[in-house]
Amino acid sequence: MKLSARNQLQGQVVRITEGQAMAEVVVKVGNLEFVSAITEGSVKAMEVKIGDAVTVAIKATDVIVGK
Amino acid sequence: MKLSARNQLQGQVVRITEGQAMAEVVVKVGNLEFVSAITEGSVKAMEVKIGDAVTVAIKATDVIVGK
Amino acid sequence: MKLSARNQLQGQVVRITEGQAMAEVVVKVGNLEFVSAITEGSVKAMEVKIGDAVTVAIKATDVIVGK
Amino acid sequence: MKLSARNQLQGQVVRITEGQAMAEVVVKVGNLEFVSAITEGSVKAMEVKIGDAVTVAIKATDVIVGK
Amino acid sequence: MKLSARNQLQGQVVRITEGQAMAEVVVKVGNLEFVSAITEGSVKAMEVKIGDAVTVAIKATDVIVGK
Amino acid sequence: MKLSARNQLQGQVVRITEGQAMAEVVVKVGNLEFVSAITEGSVKAMEVKIGDAVTVAIKATDVIVGK
């Protein structure tokens, strides 16, 4: 499936911090790390675990530019 | 200024597509390209132009994980 | 690919309004219609056209509740 | 009050998972279920409870299209 | 209708910039001005015009903190 | 650093509710209060505490208009 989210990167899950409603998942993409806050329900439903090969997807309207 | 947006990357503006209300700005970060859709007003106010050294900032809640 | 976006619905593109930087795509899901504003670049890259079978995906943090 | 959020659907709260800062609220709309992650403070302030008739509102820029 | 969006402020529309798919609406709240980018379709559907008394609503997850 | 987020306001942190993955930070701007939900990791990394002078930044696409 192709997504309209303009930014899509392949990486690997390196850290998961679970909470009651939300969880934090850290994904290593090359030498960068992306932090994602998703629902705890998604972590469970997708069975996200350390070492998983994943895609991080980010909409263009969610990318802020600082100069 | 430190931002609560957990993802912040240094890059360089490589492409700008202007529209009436919104504009698209492409930022090269290492060998990755990030597409940002910001208001045309921001492009004008910040005088964003090709070659500018910029930061792209993305909140953790805006990072989707696909597996 | 499974997505962390908790809301995913299957539908069909019924209307597209193109702009310079952003476009509006309307997707019919059962008897509901979802309006999506994506970049014009996504419309072109994905070759979105009327009649396409598509998925609409929405993050849980983007669903507001009114009572 | 009319909202600029282009997607607005009437439904009923069927499940609530409370956390310390965030909560998850599931709303049934026809035969679909929408998952919303809102602050625990909103759940308390609005006194959201199972069976409530609610509206789910989603901005067009938050609807991703997959094809 | 009460909204789960934690930030809601009363103001008055002072400026509208229309585009093909998106429009920019500026709302004065006390001595502050809020810039909103909504779809052109919303501007038309709600008949937003200068002088209108409106509410601006912003989700807590959309408020970035800088220090 | 100038940010493309069109709405930026100076205020002071007046309340912090910490959770496992997400935290809620309340910022007083003049006589208004803004509620922000950021990751617990940001609160720790930025050492956000009551009394801090901070900026709240909000993208134009995240400002909903109600009429």
pLDDT confidence of residue D54: 98
Nearest beta carbon to residue E55 from set F25, F32, F66: F66
Contact B23, B44 (CB under 8 A): no
Nearest alpha-carbon partner for F42 in C4, D40, E61, B55 = E61
Q: What is the DSSP letter of F58?
A: E
Strand partners, B51: none
Interior CA angle at D44 toward D39 and D50, to 5°?
95
Give me the CATH topology for the region B7-59. Answer: OB fold (Dihydrolipoamide Acetyltransferase, E2P) (2.40.50)
Nearest beta carbon to residue E6 from set D4, D39, D59: D39
Chain segment F25-47, per-residue pLDDT in tens:
999 999 999 999 999 999 999 99
Q: What is the pTM of this model?
A: 0.96
Nearest beta carbon to residue E24 from set B2, B4, B21: B21
Is residue D1 over pLDDT 90? no
Percentage of residues of chain F with pLDDT beyond 90: 97
Q: What's the mean pLDDT in B23-34?
A: 97
Chain segment A11-23, per-residue pLDDT in tens:
999 999 999 899 9
Interior CA angle at D64 toward D46 and A37, to 5°?
60
> A66 and F1: CB-CB below 8 Å?
yes
- d(CA B34, nearest CA chain A) in Å: 6
Nearest beta carbon to residue E21 from set C24, C66, C67: C24
Average pLDDT, chain B: 97
pLDDT confidence of residue D46: 97
Cα distance between residue C8 and residue A22, in whole Å: 19
Task: Report chain F residues whose CB lies below 8 A from the CB of A16.
Answer: none
Task: Report chain E residues whose CB lies below 8 A from the CB of F38.
Answer: 64-65
Contact C28, C1 (CB under 8 A): no
Cα distance between residue E6 and residue F54, in whole Å: 19
Q: Model confidence at E8, in pLDDT bands (50, 70, 90)?
A: very high
> What is the signed CA dihedral for D28, D34, D39, D45, rounded to 10 degrees?
-20
Is residue A2 over pLDDT 90? yes
Task: Report chain F residues whose CB lies below 8 A from the CB of A19.
Answer: 19-22, 40
Question: Would an 8 Å CB–CB cutoff place A22 in contact with chain F?
Answer: yes
> B46 and F6: CB-CB below 8 Å?
no
pLDDT confidence of residue A1: 87
Chain segment C12-51, per-residue pLDDT in tens:
999 999 999 999 999 999 999 999 999 999 999 999 999 9
Is residue F1 over pLDDT 90? no
Q: What's the mean pLDDT in D25-48?
A: 97
Give me the CATH topology for the region A7-53. Answer: OB fold (Dihydrolipoamide Acetyltransferase, E2P) (2.40.50)
Nearest alpha-carbon partner for C48 in D59, D63, D65 = D65
Task: Report chain A residues whose CB lies below 8 A from the CB of C36.
Answer: 4
ipTM for the complex? 0.97
Q: Model confidence at C1, in pLDDT bands (50, 70, 90)?
A: confident
Q: How many beta-carbon contacts under 8 Å exist across A and C?
A: 44
- Any idea where the domains of chain C sit in the sequence? 7-59
pLDDT confidence of residue E46: 97
Q: How many beta-carbon contacts under 8 Å exist across B and E?
A: 44
Question: Would an 8 Å CB–CB cutoff place E51 in contact with chain F?
Answer: no
Question: Would an 8 Å CB–CB cutoff place E46 in contact with chain D?
Answer: yes
